[in-house]
């Protein structure tokens, strides 16, 4: 059996606040369309996404790790995910080290929007308490218990009805000094509802915190571990063990709330209000305060200490809830708040103590992250660090941000699916010097096409997210060892239309079709070629950078990438102080130095957005509707393309001559409906096209006829449903067609006719096919992509090409979970016995797998 392994997975993070969680084990789990992707940002080899977990049938909205243990022994035991498919799932590692779906939680009638797992100094026991919030307006409380190596028992403890509002965020902890759970829930009514578990194990509404003027998007608990002496010296109102609650809202503000055991004091706002001399509240006053808190009608109480009484069946305790601080600094919606993780640190006597740093990370759609902490002298909360992007095309800012388990790293995810990793490189614990680090990125909508460059050195992908992305290996030495990892090295095209198809014309030139009537041709700039040469170790690339424009720039209101030459850079540099002159070259986020910069490491998201574009060199006109397919001949002389068509007049294949970029006179009229794919044979003698009319056609190359270089020779109504894809063998002796009728047919020429020599049936519709670029162990190898995301490998012996059979199934963890849109092979450049298959799918992912006999 062949050995099939992962080489690379690229996929963007979902655009939701709680889409990512950074566990104590160092892993980041994030929602990636319907998948959960696992990634270790602290991996010194930058290996990227480790694997993806299929299971959900709709977008994953929220993920959270379940923790258990005491102080230094706290560890991750499982992962909870919530999805728009109205379910939550629990994932855990089995004894073999594989992640398995151990339980599926059903009951919600709307999308699961929030998950809250217990966060506390000590989480003992063998069960795990967590909550899920849904768009159906309910909160469900669950208890998890491990059943066996692969399964968990999950019990529904309670359903809390939220009325005509729905929960947007949940946070779960223990009341100070107790093991009594407290649940905070942010709602679309701008309020935060506090629930506390009372005797009988049921959560009851204890108070409603008011103050925010818009939806509450994020909540986070932390336990204050500072000393009483520190608090007194800095005028803090915090005491050791107090529970801190941070809330971030769309009103642009962050609010801090303090929950502490009630201690009567002359300075307490409540204590001075008709309080008996013995420091205890009368029953009447306590009842009045509780009624006001429950109804949320008395806004005057929002700046006072609000008392709640807890009865766990053994004793009654009182706790005060009080507004602590208002953090102002963001200019747009605050999507996320996250406390720095507790650390085990040595005190002045050398004793290791559990310490909760008072540092809060926030992320906003104003394209910034901020770290807040109280001033040591005054106790006033200040913004000590601001990270992010100033200006530029960074879409809608950040959706969420996380502290790493070591406290020295922060990770944010943006609205375009990208990750931004920062590290505090200062050796001084009290100093802040944060630098960006290499992270991961990926498409955030369906990937329509993937193709290797003609020399198989890098991969290009086109997506409905309106970008074309370039993926290549980063080869370098790490601690004396040669390490290779894949990264997005460029974003040649950021368009205003959804991209549909892509094909190379020459080594550094490609043509792209989108949901528009125009084909666009792009040529690599000098900076891109030289950067790729250095990062991939392909030093011969550098010689191909001569006489190329330095870079490309996208005008602020344009769709066409304009070439930037050496002279332009010099003029822009001279004009930097003249803002008006600089605007004539580019939008304000572009800088002259960025165009000429040769990358020493894979680019960060900000660089990808601004400085890795390829200049657009030509536009090709002629089609009357949106482009569906495009293909360049192997000799680079012709481009064939087709568009959406409901009539034979528009179902023609148009050919463009690359010597003058003009359409040739005669079109190929072989179909009556949309042409879905066009493929030139490797010797360019044949042009194969397939269509929605269930017909394939072959046009033959005619030398010397400039008006009709390809003329129709054969056509055949071969399938019962639409034909999605086709492919030639490496020696052009056969071609394959794949159809929605769940069959792949192999065609070979005999007696001057192209005849079907084999029909292979599958259980799902075929959406993509591609032949391997060489024989593998004497076999022709064909990759078949299915509508359900699976990839099958079928093969036939060179001696008997009529006997095709299943050769291998690609493991589900390596496959897509949506339609496979495109497949493309290459031979491994260093290992000749290894083939690499790239695929793009409707699940937003680009994948590369290794196949070895």
Scanning the structure block, which residue is given the tokens 């020295």? 408
Q: Which residue numbers in the chain have pLDDT < 70? A: 227-236, 264-303, 390-395, 429-430, 545, 551-559, 565-596
At CA 273, angle to CA 270 and CA 278, rounded to 5? 85
Residue pair 73/90 in contact (Cβ under 8 Å)? The answer is no
Q: How many angstroms separate the CA atoms of 337 and 339, rounded? A: 7
Contacts of 478 by beta carbon, 8 Å cutoff, 6+ apart: 44, 45
Instruction: Say if residues 195 and 205 touch (Cβ distance below 8 Å).
Output: yes
Please give the Cα distance from 269 to 258 (Å, whole number): 14
Looking at residue 637, its pLDDT comes to: 96
What residue has token string 């003029």? 571
Q: Looking at 479-542, which runs of residues are DSSP E strands?
A: 481-494, 499-506, 509-514, 519-523
The SS3 of residue 75 is strand
Q: From the CA atom positions of the chain, what is the Rg in Å?
A: 31
State both tokens at 727.
């492919």
**pTM of the entire structure?**
0.90
Strand pairing partners for 92?
100
Please state, in angstroms and rounded to a whole number, the distance separating the CA atoms of residues 716 and 724: 15
496: left (phi over 0), alpha (psi -120 to 50) or beta: alpha
Integer angstrom CA distances of residue 751 from 152, 242, 357, 755: 63, 87, 80, 9
| Of residues 91, 15, 25, 22, the one with CA closest to residue 56 | 91
Distance (Å, whole) CA 666 – CA 673: 19
CA distances from 1 to 793, 800, 853 (A): 12, 20, 7
Q: Find out whether 816 and 768 touch, Cβ atoms under 8 Å.
A: no
Under a CB-based contact definition with an 8 Å cutoff, are residues 360 and 369 in contact?
no
Q: What is the dihedral of CA 625, 629, 633, 638, to 10 degrees?
A: 0
Domain boundaries, the chain: 333-440, 443-621
pLDDT reported for residue 379? 85
340 CB burial (10 A radius; 0-12, 13-18, 19+): buried
Which residues have a Cβ under 8 Å from the Cβ of 333 and sit 6 or more positions away? 214, 217, 249, 250, 252, 364, 365, 366
Sheet with 360-364, edge to edge strand ranges: 334-339, 360-364, 368-374, 381-388
Q: Which residues contact 94 (CB under 8 A, 6 or more apart)?
A: 100, 149, 150
Rounded Cα–Cα distance for residues 266 and 167 (Å): 37
Pairing of strands 60-70, 49-53: unpaired
DSSP secondary structure letter of residue 719: -
Q: Please report the pLDDT score of residue 378 as a whole number.
A: 85
Q: Contact 222/238 with Cβ under 8 angstroms? A: no
The continuous run of DSSP H or E covering 402 comes out as: strand 398-403
- The single-letter DSSP state of residue 314 is S
Residues 6+ apart with CB under 8 A from 645: 625, 651, 652, 671, 672, 673, 674, 675
**Contact assessment for residue 782 and residue 743, using Cβ atoms and an 8 Å cutoff:** no
Q: Reading across the β-sheet that carries 675-680, which strands appear in turn?
A: 675-680, 686-691, 695-701, 710-717
Give the pair of three-digit tokens for residue 445.
């909508």
Q: Among candidates 694, 695, 705, which has minimal Cα distance to 657?
A: 705
- DSSP letters of 180-248? -EEEEEEETTS-EEEEEE-TTS-EEEEEEE---SS-EEEEEEEE----HHHHHHTT----TTPEEEEEE
Evaluate the CA torsion angle 285, 286, 290, 293 in order and state its sign: positive
Which phi and psi angles does 332 have, rounded to 5°? -150, -175
């Amino acid at each position: 059996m062949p050995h099939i392994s992962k080489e690379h997975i690229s996929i963007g993070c979902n655009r939701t606040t709680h889409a990512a969680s950074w566990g104590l084990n160092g892993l980041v789990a994030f929602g990636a369309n319907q998948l959960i992707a696992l990634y270790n940002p602290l991996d010194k080899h930058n290996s990227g996404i480790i694997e993806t977990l299929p299971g959900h049938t709709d977008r994953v909205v929220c993920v959270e790790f379940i923790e258990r243990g005491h102080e230094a022994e706290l560890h991750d035991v499982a992962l909870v995910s919530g999805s728009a498919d109205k379910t939550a799932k629990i994932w855990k590692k089995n004894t073999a080290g594989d992640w398995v779906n151990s339980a599926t939680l059903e009951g919600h009638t709307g999308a699961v929007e929030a998950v809250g797992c217990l966060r506390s100094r000590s989480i003992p026991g063998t069960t795990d308490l967590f909550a899920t919030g849904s768009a159906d307006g309910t909160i469900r409380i669950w208890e998890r218990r491990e059943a066996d190596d692969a399964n968990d028992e999950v019990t529904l403890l309670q359903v809390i009805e939220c009325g005509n509002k729905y929960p947007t965020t949940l946070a779960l902890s223990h009341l100070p000094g107790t093991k009594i759970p407290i649940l905070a829930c942010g709602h679309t009514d701008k309020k935060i509802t506090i629930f506390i578990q009372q005797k009988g194990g049921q959560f009851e509404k204890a108070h409603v915190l008011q103050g925010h003027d818009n939806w509450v998007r994020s909540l986070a608990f932390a336990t204050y571990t500072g000393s009483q002496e520190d608090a007194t010296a800095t005028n803090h109102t915090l005491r050791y063990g107090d529970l801190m609650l941070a809330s971030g809202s769309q009103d642009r503000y962050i609010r801090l709330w303090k929950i502490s055991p009630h201690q009567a004091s002359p300075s307490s706002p409540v204590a001075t209000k008709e309080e008996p001399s013995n420091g205890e509240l009368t029953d009447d006053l306590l009842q009045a305060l509780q009624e006001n808190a429950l109804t949320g009608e008395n806004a005057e109480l929002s700046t006072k200490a609000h008392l709640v009484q807890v009865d766990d069946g053994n004793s009654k305790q009182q706790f005060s809830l009080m507004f602590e601080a208002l953090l102002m600094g963001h200019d747009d919606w605050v999507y996320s708040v996250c406390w720095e993780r507790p650390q085990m640190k040595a005190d002045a006597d050398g004793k290791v103590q559990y310490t909760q740093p008072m540092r809060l990370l926030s992320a906003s759609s104003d394209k910034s992250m901020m770290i807040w902490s109280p001033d040591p002298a005054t106790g006033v909360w200040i913004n000590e660090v601001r990270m992010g992007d100033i200006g530029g095309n960074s879409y809608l800012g950040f959706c969420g941000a996380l502290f790493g388990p070591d406290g020295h790293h922060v990770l944010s995810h943006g609205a375009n699916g990208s990750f931004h990793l920062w590290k505090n490189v200062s050796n001084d614990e009290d100093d802040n010097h944060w630098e960006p680090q290499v992270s991961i990125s990926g498409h955030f909508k369906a990937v329509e096409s993937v193709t290797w460059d003609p020399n198989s050195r890098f991969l290009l992908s086109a997506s409905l997210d309106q970008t074309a992305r370039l993926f290549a290996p980063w080869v370098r030495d790490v601690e004396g060892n040669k390490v290779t990892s894949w990264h997005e090295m460029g974003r040649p095209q950021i368009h205003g239309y959804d991209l549909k198809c892509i094909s190379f014309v020459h080594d550094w030139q490609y043509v792209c079709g989108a949901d528009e009537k125009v084909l666009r041709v792009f040529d690599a700039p000098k900076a891109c070629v030289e950067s790729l040469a250095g990062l991939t170790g392909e030093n011969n690339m550098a010689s191909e950078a001569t006489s190329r424009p330095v870079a490309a720039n996208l005008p602020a209101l344009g769709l066409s990438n304009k070439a930037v030459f050496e002279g332009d850079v010099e003029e822009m540099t001279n004009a930097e102080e003249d803002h008006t002159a600089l605007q004539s070259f580019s939008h304000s986020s572009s800088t002259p130095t960025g165009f000429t910069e040769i990358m020493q490491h894979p680019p960060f998201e900000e660089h990808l957005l601004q400085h890795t574009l390829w200049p657009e060199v030509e536009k090709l006109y002629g089609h009357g509707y949106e482009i569906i397919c495009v293909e360049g001949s192997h000799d680079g002389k012709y481009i064939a393309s087709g568009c959406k068509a409901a009539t034979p007049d528009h179902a023609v294949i148009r050919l463009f001559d690359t010597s003058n970029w003009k359409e040739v006179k005669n079109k190929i009229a072989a179909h009556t409906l949309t042409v879905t794919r066009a493929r030139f044979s490797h010797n360019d003698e044949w042009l194969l096209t397939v269509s929605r009319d269930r017909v394939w056609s072959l046009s033959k190359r005619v030398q010397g006829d400039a008006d009709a270089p390809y003329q129709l020779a054969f056509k055949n109504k071969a399938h019962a449903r639409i034909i999605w894809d086709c492919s030639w063998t490496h020696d052009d002796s056969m071609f394959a067609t794949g159809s929605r009728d769940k069959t792949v047919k192999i065609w070979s020429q005999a007696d001057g006719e192209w005849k079907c020599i084999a029909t292979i049936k599958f259980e799902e519709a075929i959406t993509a096919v591609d032949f391997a670029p060489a024989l593998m162990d004497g076999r022709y190898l064909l990759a078949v992509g299915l509508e359900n995301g699976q990839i099958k490998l079928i093969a036939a012996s060179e001696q008997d090409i009529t006997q095709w059979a299943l050769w291998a199934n690609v493991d589900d963890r390596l496959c897509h979970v949506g339609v496979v849109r495109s497949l493309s092979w290459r031979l491994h450049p260093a290992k000749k016995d290894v083939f690499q298959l790239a695929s793009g799918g409707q699940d937003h992912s680009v994948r590369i797998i290794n196949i070895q006999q």
